[in-house]
Chain A
Amino acid sequence: EPEVTQTPSHQVTQMGQEVILRCVPISNHLYFYWYRQILGQKVEFLVSFYNNEISEKSEIFDDQFSVERPDGSNFTLKIRSTKLEDSAMYFCASSELAGALKETQYFGPGTRLLVL
């Protein structure tokens, strides 16, 4: 069964450094998402992306964050200058289309980011 994959599974970085989290969505999916979950807290929406544009973003997704689809398979989340509070699990998700039967979002296993 096709699945969303994410790399790396764990990333440790120093405060102020840039990190890029990578995701390979399910191959025929057209909508892509990033969510995060701070330890012990709820899963929070960050951004959705379609047709090489951001569709929607949350208040969390400030100028330090950016997303990109650099090629036909990868979807990336970049944090330009990490802060301690960026430490979290980051989940990528994808959905086939917008439309009731095909917009189910499927999640990847996550990247655990630790900012020191």
Chain B
Amino acid sequence: DAKTTQPPSMDCAEGRAANLPCNHSTISGNEYVYWYRQIHSQGPQYIIHGLKNNETNEMASLIITEDRKSSTLILPHATLRDTAVYYCIVTLTGTASKLTFGTGTRLQVTL
């Protein structure tokens, strides 16, 4: 699986958009970008995933650059409950592959 690089921490004011970047310059054509988050020591929570098109769901938007070497997770209106560690994971599809978690980005949402 391709390696990902994320900033260790970010702050965001409540109500503002949180934009979390991820670099995955060695991603291959059949690898998806997944985003999960972990609040305290709870189980990782799935947020969104994509291959090359931008994606949006009720939680977030995922913007993937045209060359697929980086992506940005956008939480449009961050709340205090969005304070968590966010993981960007690149994984092969079609094989039920393991997820390889890095250290992620610790997002702190403040008043």
Contacts and interface: CB of A to CB of B under 8 A. Distances in A.
B contact face: mostly helix, strand, loop, or mixed = loop
Task: Sort chain A's interface into a size bin.
Answer: 20 to 34
Interface of B: 32, 34, 36, 38, 41-46, 49, 51, 87, 93-103
14 contacts: A37-B41, A42-B101, A42-B103, A43-B38, A43-B44, A43-B87, A45-B100, A98-B93, A104-B46, A105-B46, A105-B99, A107-B36, A107-B44, A110-B43
Given A89-B41, A98-B94, A45 B46 contact: no
Nearest to A49: B96
Contact of B98 (A42, A48, A98): A48
Nearest to A108: B43
A109 B44 CA distance: 8
